């Protein structure tokens, strides 16, 4: 039984609460006073051993070699690093003495991809094409094939959309890119641990991960770079992370990230899927004419659900839900904030008047009772409005 005054947290796609086991482990590391992993003494050696173990654990979870993992501050840094350096390095090559590298993204990418593409195009460094998606948010392999040109260097497609939950066919898209000699980047911040996949089995060259999406602290993530590829640094300084990401390494954050990743199981994914399915059923029963954005079933993120009510704008509804102590969102926390319309829903082809939503998102700890209470508060608000 959930109290009428309890806050309901349904915004795990924005950030998730630190898992208790991770919190305990993280605090214990802070209490120990872990040394600098680059220092040549016993405290430094101990920190380095912790760092190496964390790298092995993250690599094992992702399904890759530890040397393919470089730790970062999170998804935004990782996406910036990959897009900027891959495209800038290409632009300096003999191949592009009289032309510009070509980047392809989908029309529903995260702001940390879109903003980089906009800036690099505006400054004349690249040509950029946005690929329209299907009505459910999926990227068509055939449509991508038609868009690739001899100048295409990189295709960047988010694995799982953070607003509508659509999962992309990384194998089909990656196989096409590989056959055309094009590098393939997938933002996996929402899919890592939430969707079972093995990086080494996918034709993906770069992936980006984020800690706070999987019940680890904020401020830590990782980049996967397929063995055999080189990614020049975004920053310059010391030799940390093999010289690719200089600066004193936050061993504590990285270890907490690895700990959180190790806790996720297939049962957690199944449990979260069940909560999502239950939410769909309850919304259909309680809200006549409710419209779901993105796929209801099939390949879809287990923890993300977007819907639009027919008669009330989501901005007004979100304000009332917040007053009723429901923590949810109207889109990505990293959105541009330039419009009341969702860039993702606009990318699906919705008109500005239709491009609004309520996004609820879950974790393995979300209970069915939480959904029942959410539906109760939602229906009361809808009747009042």
Catalytic residues: 334
CB of 151 closer than 8 Å to CB of 127: yes
Q: What is the DSSP letter of 231?
A: -
Strand partners, 304: 361
Instruction: Check: CB of residue 309 under 8 Å from CB of residue 287.
Output: yes
Q: What are phi and psi of 352, to 5 degrees?
A: -55, -35
Going by C-alpha positions, the residue among 307, 303, 306, 305 that lies closest to residue 270 is: 303
208 forms bridges with which residues in the sheet?
A: 187, 223
Buried-state track 324-341, b at ≥16 Cβ within 10 A, e below 16: bebebbbbbeebeeeeeb
- Residue 332, CB-side half-sphere exposure with 13 Å CA sphere: 24
- The closest alpha carbon to 53, from 213, 241, 259, belongs to 259
Q: What are 256's two structure tokens? A: 């907490």
**18 vs 53: CA distance, rounded Å:** 20
The two beta strands, 304-308 and 291-293, are antiparallel
Query: How far is Cα 15 from Cα 331, in angstroms, rounded to an integer?
Result: 13
- The rounded radius of gyration (Å) of the Cα atoms in the chain is 21
CA gap 9, 18 in Å, rounded: 13
Instruction: Give 4-73 as a DSSP string.
Output: TTPPEE-BTTT--PPPHHHHHHHHHHHHHT---TTSSSHHHHHHHHHHHHHHHHHHHHHTS-GGGEEEES
The answer to whether 133 touches 164, Cβ cutoff 8 Å, is no
Output DSSP code: residue 201.
G
């Amino acid at each position: 039984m959930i109290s009428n005054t309890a806050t309901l947290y349904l915004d795990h796609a924005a950030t998730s609460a630190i898992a208790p086991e991770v919190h305990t482990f993280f605090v214990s590391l802070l209490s120990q006073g872990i040394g600098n992993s680059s220092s040549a003494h016993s405290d430094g050696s101990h920190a380095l051993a912790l760092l190496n173990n964390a790298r092995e654990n993250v690599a094992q979870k992702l399904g890759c070699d530890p040397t393919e993992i470089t730790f970062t501050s999170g998804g935004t840094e990782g996406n910036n690093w990959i897009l900027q350096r891959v495209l800038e390095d290409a632009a300096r090559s003999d191949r592009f003495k009289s032309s510009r590298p070509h980047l392809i993204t989908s029309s529903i990418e995260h702001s940390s991809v879109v903003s980089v593409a906009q800036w690099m195009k505006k400054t004349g460094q690249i040509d950029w094409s946005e690929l329209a998606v299907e009505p459910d948010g999926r990227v068509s392999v055939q449509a991508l094939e038609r868009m690739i040109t001899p100048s295409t260097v990189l295709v960047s497609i988010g694995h799982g959309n953070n607003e509508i939950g659509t999962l992309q066919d990384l194998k089909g898209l990656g196989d096409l890119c590989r056959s055309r000699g094009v590098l393939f980047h997938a933002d996996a911040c929402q899919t890592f641990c939430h969707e079972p996949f093995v990086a080494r089995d996918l034709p993906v060259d770069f992936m980006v991960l984020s800690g706070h999406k999987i019940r680890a602290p904020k401020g830590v993530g990782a980049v996967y770079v397929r063995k055999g590829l080189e990614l020049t640094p975004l920053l310059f300084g010391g030799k940390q992370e093999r010289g690719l990401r200089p600066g004193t390494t936050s061993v504590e954050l990285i270890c907490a990230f690895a700990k959180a990743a190790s806790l996720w199981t297939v049962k957690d994914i199944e449990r979260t899927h069940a909560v999502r399915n239950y939410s769909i059923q309850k919304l259909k029963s309680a809200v006549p004419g409710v419209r779901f954005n993105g796929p209801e079933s099939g390949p879809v993120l287990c923890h993300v659900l977007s819907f639009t009510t027919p008669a009330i704008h989501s901005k007004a509804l979100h304000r009332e839900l917040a007053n009723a102590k429901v923590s949810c969102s109207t889109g990505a926390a990293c959105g541009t904030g330039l419009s009341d319309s969702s860039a993702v829903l606009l990318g699906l082809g919705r008109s500005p008047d239709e491009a609004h939503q309520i996004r609820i998102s879950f974790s393995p700890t979300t209970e069915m009772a939480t959904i029942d209470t959410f539906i109760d508060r939602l229906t009361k608000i809808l009747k009042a409005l």
